[in-house]
């Protein structure tokens, strides 16, 4: 009796595992359960796994292994908001959604069609690799450029566009037999701190929430989104005490009641400090379930969470009806997803992973989201596509990114390294572990004498990312651009990621300066952008040189 109840409660947990096969390959061993524990928990009925890390081929084998360990159907999900290739190398890695929000302002129909293809591409590739649940779309409205954690992950900066695009993504993804997940309810767009690190507060009243934050969720629900993920956010106007994830006012009254959502409600990861700093694993799970969540994502301790839920059911704090409703919703979601491919189809599935249409989509998104700093842009109607390419080196290729370690956007043969290299620009890569390049002088922040002589191509990989704690705005790039211009050493500028940084820097540039912006950071984005700066494919890129996209075909 208790054993069966315990299995039922365990099925409501989604624990985190690595997409890699062996424990030693885990990138975040603190959060990714070792295989022995994962296998035990699945055998005890745990019903879902969120996967991170590993290539497409590894994931294909891994999802099979997890189902084998569970002995039954599982919810297998991943944070693949920007194409499956964002997390699992070898699949399509698309430009961040915000690019489509910007297109929507000019060409709404084209943007919607692309968002739906974006969903199809993500859903189809997820399914081929054994996932049945994509943890997207982000339904947050990114109306705060300083938002360190949502930023370009959002589909738009306005509620209407965000809702329409998110709904289109949901339609595309779910048409492939893969569940989608609208997040982070009731809206994480207007915060300037990171809930991975602290608990943000949203001071808006219900009227404003209705006008802005809730709209995209209503649109996703109308598109029949299978799941909604909660936000670790304090919303005093709705609940004076508890964050959204643990609030009945938010999950039950607002989401189930007012918005009429009948699908799966899943918490954001309970292991995040915004929750785990305040509640132990058992308490957090019970509070979230009581508040209205069906699924408990990444509890700090899975066994404790199950035990906590068990006790709450046995004590009557959670009613059998409430439990049955969550179990039913989970069953309904599993039934709505297409059953997984079979083990013997692994090679075929992998060979079908990248379709010509995926390549066209990824290329089209890159082309349309590229912004070039055009000379003569003020002359209305002028179609000056010329301008000068980068002057020949020797010079410096100054690259800034968050971390060079395990950086999928910067393989050793990345266009951002090789193409300037072919022109004589030597790479200097700056990240949080580099010797300081800063002079301490705010007017001329870069210690140029340490970096060497010659013209400087500046390539900035900056975007909001979880755990960074800021959107990159604290670095003095505007002053650096001015410094390099004053020294007559700025040869070119490439911004990959944040449109806000580009909008800050672009007005400073002289009209003839080779410069461009791409929302994407992947090697393909570098190739498209640098082509515009007059940098053709370098010989070592290999696949690239046989025409664009050649580097990414299968």
Span interacting with a second copy, options 101-109, 249-257, 284-292, 350-358, rule CB under 8 A: 350-358
- Is the Cβ–Cβ distance between 455 and 393 less than 8 Å? yes
| Binder of a second copy out of 12, 111, 291, 354 (CB under 8 A) | 354
Minimum CB separation from a second copy for residue 444, in Å? Answer: 16
Pick 4 or 449: Cβ nearer a second copy: 449
Q: In 3D, which of 375, 463, 366 has the Cα closest to residue 415?
A: 366
Question: Cβ contacts of residue 129 below 8 Å, gap of 6+?
Answer: 56, 59, 60, 63, 84, 88, 91, 349, 353
Pick 205 or 403: Cβ nearer a second copy: 403
Structure tokens that stand for 56 in this block: 């497409």
89 lies in the binding site for a second copy (CB under 8 A): yes
198 lies in the binding site for a second copy (CB under 8 A): no
Interactions with a second copy, residue window 228-267 (CB under 8 A): none
| Binder of a second copy out of 45, 90, 216, 472 (CB under 8 A) | 90
Minimum CB separation from a second copy for residue 55, in Å? Answer: 6
Pick 410 or 515: Cβ nearer a second copy: 410
Structure tokens that stand for 282 in this block: 């058992």
In angstroms, the Cα distances linking 204 to 191, 194, 201, 390 are 11, 18, 9, 48
Interactions with a second copy, residue window 27-56 (CB under 8 A): 27-32, 34-36, 54-56
Q: In 3D, which of 184, 166, 180, 170 has the Cα closest to residue 337?
A: 180
Minimum CB separation from a second copy for residue 142, in Å? Answer: 27
- CA 547 to chain CA centroid, Å, is 28
Q: In 3D, which of 101, 130, 105 has the Cα closest to residue 118?
A: 101
CA–CA separation, 209 vs 428, rounded Å? 45
Minimum CB separation from a second copy for residue 343, in Å? Answer: 7
Interactions with a second copy, residue window 529-548 (CB under 8 A): 539-544, 546
- Among 20, 120, 188, 196, the active-site one is 196
Pick 57 or 529: Cβ nearer a second copy: 57
CA–CA separation, 320 vs 68, rounded Å? 30
- Is the Cβ–Cβ distance between 362 and 527 less than 8 Å? no
CA–CA separation, 255 vs 190, rounded Å? 19
Minimum CB separation from a second copy for residue 36, in Å? Answer: 8
CA–CA separation, 184 vs 245, rounded Å? 10
In angstroms, the Cα distances linking 297 to 17, 48, 120, 217, 337 are 12, 9, 25, 20, 19
Structure tokens that stand for 62 in this block: 């891994």
Interactions with a second copy, residue window 93-132 (CB under 8 A): none
Structure tokens that stand for 270 in this block: 């309970």
Three-state DSSP class for 53?
coil
Pick 504 or 545: Cβ nearer a second copy: 545
The string of DSSP letters for 399-414 reads: EE-S-STT-TT--TT-
Minimum CB separation from a second copy for residue 550, in Å? Answer: 8
Q: Are strands 371-372 and 515-518 parallel, antiparallel or unpaired?
A: antiparallel
Interactions with a second copy, residue window 51-70 (CB under 8 A): 54-58, 60-62, 64-65, 68
Pick 205 or 351: Cβ nearer a second copy: 351
Secondary structure (H, E, C), 341-374: CCHHHHHHHHHCCCCHHHHHHHHHHHHHHCEECC
Which x/- pattern over 127-156 shows residues binding a second copy (rule: CB under 8 A)? ------------------------------
| Binder of a second copy out of 24, 381, 442, 507 (CB under 8 A) | 24
Span interacting with a second copy, options 17-25, 75-83, 164-172, 252-260, rule CB under 8 A: 17-25
Pick 332 or 487: Cβ nearer a second copy: 487
Pick 146 or 346: Cβ nearer a second copy: 346
Three-state DSSP class for 315?
coil
Span interacting with a second copy, options 251-259, 373-381, 405-413, 482-490, rule CB under 8 A: 405-413
Interactions with a second copy, residue window 408-467 (CB under 8 A): 410-413, 427-430, 433-437, 447, 450-452
- DSSP letter assigned to residue 365: H
| Binder of a second copy out of 144, 252, 341, 404 (CB under 8 A) | 404
Minimum CB separation from a second copy for residue 355, in Å? Answer: 12
196 is catalytic: yes
| Binder of a second copy out of 344, 380, 381, 507 (CB under 8 A) | 344
Within 13 Å and on the Cβ side, how many CA atoms surround 382?
A: 11
Helix (H) / strand (E) element for 85: namely none
- DSSP letter assigned to residue 340: P
Pick 258 or 357: Cβ nearer a second copy: 357
- Among 239, 268, 294, 358, the active-site one is 268
315 lies in the binding site for a second copy (CB under 8 A): no
Q: In 3D, which of 169, 178, 220 has the Cα closest to residue 75?
A: 178
The count of residues interacting with a second copy (CB under 8 A) is 73
Pick 48 or 549: Cβ nearer a second copy: 549
* Residues labelled catalytic: 196, 268
């Amino acid at each position: 009796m208790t054993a069966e109840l315990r299995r039922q409660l365990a099925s409501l947990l989604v624990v985190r595992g690595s997409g890699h096969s062996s424990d030693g390959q885990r990138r975040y061993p603190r959060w990714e359960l070792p295989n022995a524990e994962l296998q035990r928990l699945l055998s005890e009925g745990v019903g879902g796994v969120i996967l991170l890390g590993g290539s497409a081929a590894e994931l294909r084998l891994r999802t099979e292994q997890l189902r084998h360990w569970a002995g039954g159907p599982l919810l297998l999900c991943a944070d693949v908001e920007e194409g499956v290739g964002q997390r699992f190398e070898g699949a399509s890695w698309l430009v961040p959604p915000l690019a489509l929000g910007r297109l929507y302002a000019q060409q709404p129909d084209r943007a919607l069609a692309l968002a739906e293809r974006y969903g199809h591409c993500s859903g189809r590739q997820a399914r081929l690799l054994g996932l049945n649940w994509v943890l997207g779309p982000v339904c947050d409205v990114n109306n705060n450029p300083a938002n360190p954690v949502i930023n370009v992950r959002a589909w738009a900066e306005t509620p209407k566009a965000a809702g329409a695009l998110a709904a289109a993504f949901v339609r595309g993804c779910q048409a492939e037999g893969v569940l989608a997940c609208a997040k982070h309810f009731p809206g994480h767009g207007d915060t300037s701190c990171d809930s991975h690190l602290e608990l943000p507060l949203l001071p808006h009243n219900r009227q404003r929430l209705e006008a802005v934050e809730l709209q995209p969720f209503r649109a996703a629900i109308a598109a029949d989104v299978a799941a909604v993920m909660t936000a670790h956010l304090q919303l005093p106007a709705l609940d004076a005490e508890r964050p959204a994830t643990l609030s009945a006012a938010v999950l039950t009254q607002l989401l189930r009641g007012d918005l009429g959502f009948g699908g799966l409600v899943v918490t954001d990861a309970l292991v995040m400090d915004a929750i785990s700093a305040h509640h132990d694993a058992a308490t957090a799970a019970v509070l979230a379930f009581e508040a209205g969540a069906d699924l408990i994502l990444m509890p700090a301790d899975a066994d404790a969470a199950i035990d906590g839920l068990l006790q709450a059911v046995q004590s009557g704090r959670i009613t059998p009806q409430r439990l049955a409703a969550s179990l039913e919703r989970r069953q309904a979601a599993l039934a709505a997803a297409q059953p997984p491919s079979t083990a013997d189809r692994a090679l075929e599935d992998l060979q079908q992973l990248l379709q010509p249409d995926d390549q066209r989509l990824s290329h089209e998104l890159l082309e349309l989201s590229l912004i070039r700093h055009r000379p003569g842009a003020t002359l209305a109607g002028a179609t000056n596509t010329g301008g000068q390419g980068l002057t020949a080196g020797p010079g410096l290729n100054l690259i800034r990114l968050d971390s060079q370690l395990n950086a999928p956007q910067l393989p050793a043969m990345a266009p951002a390294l090789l193409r300037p290299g072919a022109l004589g620009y030597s790479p200097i890569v700056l990240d949080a572990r580099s010797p300081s390049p800063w002079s301490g002088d705010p007017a001329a922040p870069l210690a140029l004498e340490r970096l060497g002589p010659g013209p400087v191509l500046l390539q900035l990989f900056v975007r909001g990312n979880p755990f960074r704690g800021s959107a990159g705005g604290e670095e003095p790039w505007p002053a650096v651009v001015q410094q390099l211009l004053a020294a007559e050493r700025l040869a070119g500028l490439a911004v990959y990621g944040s449109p806000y940084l580009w909008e800050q820097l672009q007005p400073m540039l002289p009209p003839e300066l080779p410069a461009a912006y791409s929302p994407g950071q992947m090697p393909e984005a570098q190739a498209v952008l640098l082509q515009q700066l007059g940098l053709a494919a370098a010989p070592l890129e290999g696949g690239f040189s046989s025409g664009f996209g050649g580097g990414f075909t299968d």
